[in-house]
Chains A and B, each alone.
Chain A
Amino acid sequence: MTHSPSVHDNTTTISFSADRCVILLLPVVWSVYAYGIRALFITLVSVIFASAAYLLFCLALKKEILPHILMDIALSAAVFAFTLPVSVPYYLPMLGGVIAAVPSLWLPKGKKICFGGFLSAAAVRAFFPSLTSRAIQAFTYLSPWIFAPAENDINSLRTYTPLQLLSQGKVSSGTLWDQFYGTVSGNIGEISFMLLLIGCVFLICRRKMRVHGPAVFLFTLCIITLIFPAGDSEAIFFMLVSLLSGGAMLACTFAFSDTLTMPVTDMGKIAFAVGTAVLTVLIRYLGAAEEGVYGAVVIMNLLTPVIDRYTLPVAYGRTKVKGGKK
C-alpha cells in the first residue's frame, strides 16, 4: 500500500547529464577548427583519464558504476580542458582531469554540500593557477614530449588573450565580433561566446536549466563593468569585452546547469548569480584575470547551503488575505 510512482514524466537523471554533454560538442568542434586537432586531443586526454579514474575507483571499492555520474565526471574533465590554452603539455589535462574527478567520487549521500560537475573543474582551475602557468612556461622553453602546435592556428600562441590584456589595463585589438564568434586567441573552450550561448539556450529550452541564473549573471556582470570600467577605452566597449572574453560564458553555461552545486530555488539561483558576477569582477580587478570567474564560482558554491537555507519558498497561505469575514 505505498505511493510508488505509477505515472511519471519520464525525465531521468541521465537526461540532465546527457544534455550537457551534447552542448559540449559545439565548442569541441570549434576548437578543432580554430586550433587544430591538438585541442581535441587535450580534451580527450582529460576525459579519458578522469573516466578511468572513476571506473578504477568503482572497481577497487566494488561500487556500482552510475552512468550519470560517469557522464558528470567526463563533463567536468572536459570543461577543465576547456579552460586551458591549446599549448599546454599533455600531462596537465591528465592530472587536471583526474583531480577534477576526485571530488565527484565522494558523491552526495544526502549531504548538504555536494561536489561534482563544473565545481570540481572550476576548483582545479582556480586553486592551481600556478600549476597551469608553470606548465605553460615549461612548454615555451623546453618541450620534450609534446606535439608541436598545429600550423593552422588562427593565432600565435604568444599573443595575449583579451583578458590578460585587460588585467594590464588594455583592451584587445580584435573586434567585438571576433570575440563573439570566437576567432581570437584564448583557451580551448572559452573562445566562442556564440557557441556557448547556443548551448545555454538549448539547455534552457530543454528545461535542464532555469533561465534566471545565466541571465542575472550576465546582466550583473554587464552592469558592474559598465559602472566601474577598468580599461583604457569607453565604458561600453570595456563592458562588452569583459562579457565576451574569458570564461564568463563557459561558467555561465556549465556552472548554472550543474544542479548538484547550485542553489535549488530560483531566488537562490539569482542570489548565486549576483554573487558570482560581483566576485568575478573583483577577482579580475584585484588578482589574476583569467581565473576570475572560476574562483568566483568556487567561493559561491561554498555558500550554496547558506543560500539554500535563506531562499526557501514562502509556503502557500502565508500571504495576508484581505476581505472576508472572520
Chain B
Amino acid sequence: MANSFFGGIKINKTGLSHGKAPEIYTPAAVAINIAQQAGGETVPCIKEGDTVRKGQVIAESDRLAFLHAPVSGKVVRLLEKDESHYIVIKSDHTLPEADPVPFTQPISEITPEQITEKIRRMGVVGTYSGFPTHIKIIASRGKAFCLVINCVQSDPYGSFVREIVKEYPEKLVMGARIIARGIGVKQVIFALESNERRSYSALMRVIGEKDPLISVSRLTPKYPLGEERNLLCAVIKKEVPAGRATYDIGYTVFSAETVLRVFEACAEGKPVTDKYITVSGERCASPANLIAPIGTSLRAVAEKCGGVPEKAICLYGSAVNGKEADLENGCVSKSTSQLIITDIKPEKTEECIRCGKCILHCPMHLAPHTFITGDHNPAWQKLCDMCGCCQYVCPSGIKLLDIISQCKKEAQQ
C-alpha cells in the first residue's frame, strides 16, 4: 500500500476546520480582478452604474473564460489599482439571480466542442493554478488517455476538498464523466487520501461495483500530494519528463472543485460566481470552510472567522509555502484556496549544517541546500515548484523559499 511519492513531509495537524460543512458568506461589496486567470485579461462588458444580476457575464474574452457577477447589485465603478483592473459591485439582495442555462440533452449527445465552449462561457478555471479549464481540456484532447481527479487535501490546515468529496460524490462522478467526454479519455481515476474512509465509501456507492471507466486510487496522505506531478507519481508511479506537460505521458489531472464546477456549468447551467475557501490556523478564532463570492476582500473573509489577532500572521495559500496575505488590497479570486492565521515564528536563521534533510524531503529530487551557496544546477529552477518541504524540515531555519525565488528572479533577468 505504498501509493506515495518520493520525499514530502507528514504534518500531523489534520485540519483545524475539519468536518465543518461549507457555509455561504455574502459580503456587502465585491471587487473582481479582471486579470485573475493565468494567460491574460478579460474585457469588461458592463458600464459603471449598470445593474447586474448574479451570474450575469461582466467580462468577456474570445479565448479565455468569462467572468460573471458574483452578487446581484449595482456596478459602482471600474477601479484601477496597482496595475490591475477591478470591477466593484455593491450587492443588493433584492435583485434576482440570472437564469441558469444548462444543457438540455443527455451527455452522450453533447459534442466535446460544445462542452469546452460551455465551460468557457461559464467561467471555469483551475482551482489552484487559475489556468482556464477549457484550454487544458483542448490541450489534453488526443494526448491523454486517463483522467485523474485530484480529491486530495494535502495541506494539513485545509479541509474544503474533503467536504466537497463527502458532500457531492454524485456531482463529482457526473462532472468527471463530462470532462472525460470532453477530452475523450478511456479511464478516470479518483485520487483520494487513504485515511478518508467516508469519502471513499461515498464515492464507491455512487460509482457502483464495476464501472469500466471509473476507479478510485487511495494514496498515503502526505504534503504536497496535491501537486500534479507528485500526484501522478503516487498514482501511476511515473515521472513527467522535465519540461513536459502531464498529458504528454497520457495523463491529465483536474482538481475536485474544478470537476464540481464543470458539473454545475454543464448540468445546472450555473456559472462560477463563488469559491470554496478554508480559513484556519492556530490563531484563527473560528476556523471554517466558506463559500465566498469571487472578489470578496481577504480582510472581510478573515474578519468573518475572527480576524487576525496581534502577533499573528495571515498566510495566503498553504501553511507550508504560503506568502503573507495582502489583506488591504487582496480579493478572493478563482484560484484562492486558503487563508491561514497562525503565529509568527521567530526568524532565527543559522548556518547550513549540511544535514541533508532537505534532499530527503524534496519531491523533485533536488538538492535544495545548493541554492544557498548558489552552485545549483540552473535547470533545477524550473523543476522546483516551491512546495516548501525543504524549509519545513531545515533545522537551521534557513528561508529556502526566499532564496530559491531570489535565484529564479536572477535567472529571469
Contact = CB atoms under 8 A, between A and B. Distances in A.
B362 to A, nearest CB: 8
Interface stretch (B39-47, B201-209, B290-298, B366-374): B366-374
B238 interface: yes
B196 interface: no
Contact of A3 (B248, B370, B405): B405
Interface in B146-184: 156
Contacts of B395: 11-13, 15-16
Interface stretch (A76-84, A146-154, A282-290, A311-319): A311-319
Nearest to B249: A324
B351 A107 contact: yes
Given A6-B343, A9-B392, A259-B355, A317 B240 contact: yes
B364 A1 contact: no
A109 B229 CA distance: 35
A7 B319 contact: yes
A312 B367 contact: yes
A134 interface: no
Contacts of A241: none
Contact of A312 (B142, B370, B373): B370
B355 A6 contact: no
A264 interface: yes
B320 A7 contact: yes
Chain A interface helix/strand/loop/mixed:
loop
Given A315-B242, A317-B383, A13 B353 contact: yes
A262 B355 CA distance: 8
Chain B residues touching A, majority SS:
loop
B351 A3 contact: no
A170 interface: no
Given A264-B359, A313-B366, A326-B248, A8 B392 contact: yes
A128 to B, nearest CB: 27
Contacts, number: 156
Nearest to B342: A6
Interface string A294-317: 000000000000000000111111
Nearest to A11: B395
Interface in A56-105: 66, 68
A259 B357 CA distance: 10
B357 to A, nearest CB: 8
B397 A8 contact: yes
B126 interface: no
A316 B229 contact: yes
Interface string A2-44: 1111111101110110000000000000000000000000000
22 contacts: A2-B323, A3-B399, A3-B402, A5-B394, A6-B315, A6-B322, A6-B340, A9-B11, A11-B393, A66-B350, A108-B351, A114-B354, A259-B354, A265-B356, A312-B370, A313-B359, A315-B364, A315-B383, A316-B239, A317-B242, A317-B383, A318-B239
5 A-B pairs with least C-beta separation: A3-B401, A324-B250, A317-B242, A324-B249, A264-B356
